[in-house]
Structure 1
Amino acid sequence: MKNIRKIFVFAIILFASVSIAKAEIPEEIITSIRTGNAAKLSKYFNQNVDLLVLDFECSCSKSQTQQVINDFFQKYTPSKFSIIHQGSKGDSDFAIGTLETDKGKYRVYFLIKTINKVAFIHLFRIEAQTE
């Protein structure tokens, strides 16, 4: 009986620590990347975003960022997106994922900062994935 109680307490502690450490990435961001919807994704862009998409890099306005990502989605139609790693520190959350398109696989990185309980993407990168 004591062993069962110890296992139960250990399981609760383990579950609680994993839940606390997990980043809070809004599901709409993941869905927008998966479906190639730059307009929905843009709702989460900060006023300025550090952007890298393949060979294009800039500190872009929200509207420029939407246009660049929309152009990418038009040229490389997404078919699948999955988060492979995520984490958080303070008010910032990050995620790294794999985006599968009709022309290959790409690594996607983004950094979200929460301001007044609202998530904003401050950094967004899409790079060719090398395997």
Structure 2
Amino acid sequence: MKKLIVVLGVLLAGGMLTAFTLFAGPFDDVVNALKKGDSGNLSKLLDNTVEINMAGKSNSYSKAQAEIILKDFFGKNAVKTFELLHKGGPEGGSQFGVGNLTTSGGNYRTSFFLQKKGNAFVLNELRFENK
């Protein structure tokens, strides 16, 4: 009986680890790109249309336009730190993260939203709000 419980525990833990690992990939990629101010890696995750809010101005952009905007933003605002404060969303569904981005050009409360499309997650909204 003890062996059965141990085997079940390992299987359950392994399943949770696999589910978490699948979820953690794109989420962690966004966090790491924000920490480095890496618009190139961030752009790889963009949806075909992306909502970007900067300094109170919000607009929907094509992926190509969003790449240019992000490259310009991080070019003018060298990242010092990004601290993830909160993440959430239903398991296997859309996910979001909220954190503080400290740059050479100011501090921003930053939030992002990942939506599941097929078997992949895409970044469909980014917000950089002045603190």
CA contact (8 A) 1:53 1:69 kept: no
Q: Which residue number corresponds to residue 7 of structure 2?
A: none
TM-score normalised by length of structure 2: 0.76
| CA deviation profile, 1:76-99 (whole Å, cap 9, x unmatched) | 110111110110036110000110
> Which structure 2 residue ranges, 5 or more long, are not aligned?
1-15
SS of structure 1 residue aligned to 2:89: strand
Q: List structure 1 runs of 4+ shifted beyond 3 angstroms.
A: none
Shift of 1:114: 1.4
TM-score normalised by length of structure 1: 0.76
| CA deviation profile, 1:1-28 (whole Å, cap 9, x unmatched) | xxxxxxxxxxxxxxx8xx98xx745322
CA contact (8 A) 2:85 2:100 kept: yes
Of Structure 1 and Structure 2, the greater helix share is in 2
Are residue 111 (structure 1) and residue 75 (structure 2) matched?
no
Q: Which residue number corresponds to residue 129 of structure 2?
A: 127
SS of structure 2 residue aligned to 1:66: helix
Shift of 1:116: 2.1
Q: Give the number of aligned pairs.
A: 113
Q: Which residue number corresponds to residue 5 of structure 2?
A: none
> Which structure 1 residue ranges, 5 or more long, are not aligned?
1-15
| CA deviation profile, 1:103-130 (whole Å, cap 9, x unmatched) | 321111111011222110111111101x
Supply the distance in 2 between the matched residues of 1:26 and 1:48 (Cα, whole angstroms): 18
Q: What letter corresponds to residue 122 of structure 1 in structure 2? A: N
Identity fraction in percent: 25
CA contact (8 A) 1:112 1:122 kept: yes
5 Å-filtered alignment, 1:71-110, equals 71-89=72-90, 91-110=93-112
Supply the distance in 1 between the matched residues of 2:90 and 2:28 (Cα, whole angstroms): 19
Q: What letter corresponds to residue 60 of structure 1 in structure 2? A: Y
| RMSD over equivalenced CA pairs, Å | 2.3
